[in-house]
Amino acid sequence: MSLFRKKTANKGAVGVQINADGVSLTHVKLSDSFGADDARPHVVASEWLSESDVGRQQKALADRVEALGLRRKDCHLVLGRDDYNLLLVEAPSVPESELREALRWRIRDLIDFPVESAVLDAFMLPEDRGRAGKRMAYVAVAHRERIQERIAQAADARLDLKTIDIPELSLRNIVYRLCETERGVALVRLGQGAGSLHIVRGADLHLARRFNVPYEGGLLEDLPEDVLVLEVQRSLDYFERQMRQPPPGQIVLVGENLTPDKITDSLSDSLPMDLSALDLESLVTLGEKAQPHTLPLCLEAIGAAMRLMEGEAD
């Protein structure tokens, strides 16, 4: 199965992500499926199933799919944080039909398991992006056994698996559908001791970078401003100097219990562009089975269910 290929999106889709500490389950309908009076995506259901045991995770997922009436629904599964590696490499000069196989050999020394056991897919940075005129590509690499495990889990839950995505592209979907991306948006995702930054312009993901950050998503927990500023500036410097790109127009923060009041004046003043928190509740409509506190926990699954339709962003 291709990891991330544009498919024609169903008007309503299920998004699932399975991580070591739990399962995200969502059901999302886009605006054309629930009327023109409100163009916002409609999150019909959003649940975080906190469970670390693999067997109990599978039972919980199947039980909730049944209870929510989601059996046989189109499903877009997003890989968990530890399911894959994302590598930025120089793209070989080969026909598109040969790109994946050429990249397989290019990344063989960058992974810690035999390349013959790898499932990979890639997307190119746009033509005018890259370093010194060279085309660059992001390559997502996962062990074949892990992909087979995820496919089996979706089948056991009686979901109709259509695609397997990666979190970076799921978050791209969130930014593209909910933000103004013409000038570019830097989405910073925080939680569980880790952070990531994603620069989206138009419908294109231009940069994805992970970093460690001392923030666990506590209700009264302050943002680690010094670390956050350092990591954001490092990312922006790389984007502007190495990739030779103009800076994005805004920075948007998202994470569990990451509310606007946590963004202090000192944090805003330390960054070179407008800074805000992503207000998911105002950007989507929520069904009775979608609770606001679950949205940040299910963000990647929601983004997977919002994947772009064929030709939508062309």
Q: In this structure, are 186 and 259 located in the same domain? A: yes
Residue 312 within any structural domain of the chain = no
Cα distance between residue 183 and residue 166, in whole Å: 24
Tokens representing residue 117 in the block: 């056991």
Domain interval for residue 17? 12-82+146-171+285-305
If we measure between CA atoms, which residue out of 138, 158, 146, 259 comes closest to residue 199? 138
Cα distance between residue 308 and residue 124, in whole Å: 17
Tell me how many domains the chain contains.
3
Q: In this structure, are 229 and 292 located in the same domain? A: no
* Contact (Cβ atoms closer than 8 angstroms) between residue 291 and residue 298: no
This prediction has a pTM of 0.91
In this prediction, residue 23 has a pLDDT band, given cuts at 50, 70 and 90, of very high
Q: In this structure, are 165 and 119 located in the same domain? A: no
Residue 202 within any structural domain of the chain = yes
Least confidently predicted of 35-44, 151-160, 294-303: 35-44
> Which helix (DSSP H) or strand (DSSP E) does residue 242 occupy?
none
Residue 1 within any structural domain of the chain = no
CATH number, domain at 228?
Answer: 3.30.420.40
Q: What are phi and psi of 33, to 5 degrees?
A: -100, -5
Q: What is the mean pLDDT of residues 213-242?
A: 95
Helical packing angle, 144-156 and 54-67, nearest 10°: 40
Q: In this structure, are 71 and 159 located in the same domain? A: yes
Residue 117 within any structural domain of the chain = yes
Q: Please report how many Cα atoms fall inside a 13 Å half-sphere around the Cα of residue 239, on the Cβ side.
A: 23
Residue 262 within any structural domain of the chain = yes
Q: In this structure, are 225 and 130 located in the same domain? A: no
Residue 157 within any structural domain of the chain = yes
If we measure between CA atoms, which residue out of 256, 304, 307 comes closest to residue 80? 304
Structure confidence at residue 8 (pLDDT) = 39
Rounded percentage of the chain residues whose pLDDT exceeds 90: 79
Q: Is the dihedral of CA 245, 250, 253, 254 positive or negative?
A: negative
Q: Which residue has the tokens 């997307």?
A: 123
CATH number, domain at 18?
Answer: 3.30.420.10
Structure confidence at residue 244 (pLDDT) = 86
Strands (E), the chain: 12-19, 22-29, 42-50, 74-78, 84-90, 118-124, 136-143, 160-165, 185-191, 194-201, 204-212, 250-255, 274-277, 285-290
Q: In this structure, are 116 and 132 located in the same domain? A: yes
Cα distance between residue 67 and residue 122, in whole Å: 36
Cα distance between residue 253 and residue 217, in whole Å: 12
- The residues near 248 (Cβ < 8 Å, ≥ 6 apart) are 183, 184, 185, 186, 199, 201, 236, 239, 273
* Contact (Cβ atoms closer than 8 angstroms) between residue 265 and residue 225: no
Q: In this structure, are 77 and 103 located in the same domain? A: no
If we measure between CA atoms, which residue out of 179, 224, 188, 180 comes closest to residue 207? 188
Q: In this structure, are 199 and 265 located in the same domain? A: yes
Structure confidence at residue 305 (pLDDT) = 96
Give the number of residues written for the chain. Answer: 314
Residue 259 within any structural domain of the chain = yes
Structure confidence at residue 33 (pLDDT) = 45
Cα distance between residue 92 and residue 108, in whole Å: 14
Q: Is a pLDDT exceeding 90 seen at residue 133?
A: no
Q: In this structure, are 156 and 210 located in the same domain? A: no
- DSSP structural state of residue 20: T
Burial of residue 291 (CB within 10 Å: 0-12, 13-18, 19+) is: middle
- DSSP structural state of residue 313: T
Q: In this structure, are 69 and 207 located in the same domain? A: no
Cα distance between residue 195 and residue 190, in whole Å: 4
pLDDT, tens digit, 9 for 90 and up, residues 134-185: 788 999 999 999 999 999 999 999 999 999 999 999 999 999 999 999 999 9
pLDDT, tens digit, 9 for 90 and up, residues 220-230: 999 999 999 99
Q: In this structure, are 19 and 157 located in the same domain? A: yes
pLDDT, tens digit, 9 for 90 and up, residues 106-115: 999 999 999 9
Q: In this structure, are 117 and 160 located in the same domain? A: no
Burial of residue 59 (CB within 10 Å: 0-12, 13-18, 19+) is: middle
Residue 212 within any structural domain of the chain = yes
Cα distance between residue 252 and residue 42, in whole Å: 21
